[in-house]
């Protein structure tokens, strides 16, 4: 499974690093495995982001050309198409794209990505690891 550094999880959840550490200690987030710096299972972060997400969004008052960095919380594939959902802070962004594109990008719950909104299209781009 993909793992995130504590600081990456904190940024995605919009909380402090200490809060993420407390959530790991209390079992609210699943700790990553291995030696070295403490990590968090990205699927655990995705599940918590979905749990903490507010209800339906209010209408936007900003330009529709926006970029929403977050984490993939759901991918549904069929024979030709894939539905991808990203939780980006309080925003849930969904995109319908070809299954081939989703497969080539390796889109799965827990993967960091951004939804780019331009007009009526949502483009999925992977976040670079630092």
Residues 67-114 have pLDDT tens digits of 888 999 999 999 999 999 999 988 899 999 999 999 999 999 999 998
DSSP readout, the chain? --EEEHHHHHHHHTS-HHHHHHHHHHTSSPBPPSSSS-EEEHHHHHHHHHHH--SSPPPP-S-S-EEEEEEEEEEEE-SSEEEEEEEETTEEEEEEEEHHHHHHHT--TT-EEEEEEETTEEEEEEPPP-
Q: At what angle do helices 42-52 and 6-13 cross, to 10 degrees?
A: 20
Residues 35-68 have pLDDT tens digits of 788 899 999 998 998 888 766 555 544 444 578 8
pTM of the model: 0.52
> Residue 83 has what pLDDT?
97
| Residue boundaries of the structural domains of the chain | 3-52, 66-126
Fold of 66-126: OB fold (Dihydrolipoamide Acetyltransferase, E2P) (2.40.50)
> Residue 39 has what pLDDT?
92
């Amino acid at each position: 499974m993909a793992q995130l550094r504590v600081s990456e999880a904190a940024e995605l959840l919009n909380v402090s690093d200490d809060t993420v550490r407390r959530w790991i200690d209390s079992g609210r987030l699943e700790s990553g495995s291995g030696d070295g710096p403490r990590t968090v299972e990205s699927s655990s972060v995705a599940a918590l982001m979905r749990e903490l997400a507010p209800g339906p969004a209010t209408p936007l008052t900003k330009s529709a050309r926006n970029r929403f960095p977050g984490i993939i919380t759901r991918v549904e594939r069929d024979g030709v198409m894939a539905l991808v959902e990203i939780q980006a802070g309080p925003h849930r962004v969904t995109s319908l794209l070809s299954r081939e594109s989703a497969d080539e990008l390796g889109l799965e719950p827990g993967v960091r990505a951004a939804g780019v909104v331009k007009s009526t299209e949502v483009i999925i781009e992977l976040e670079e690891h630092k």
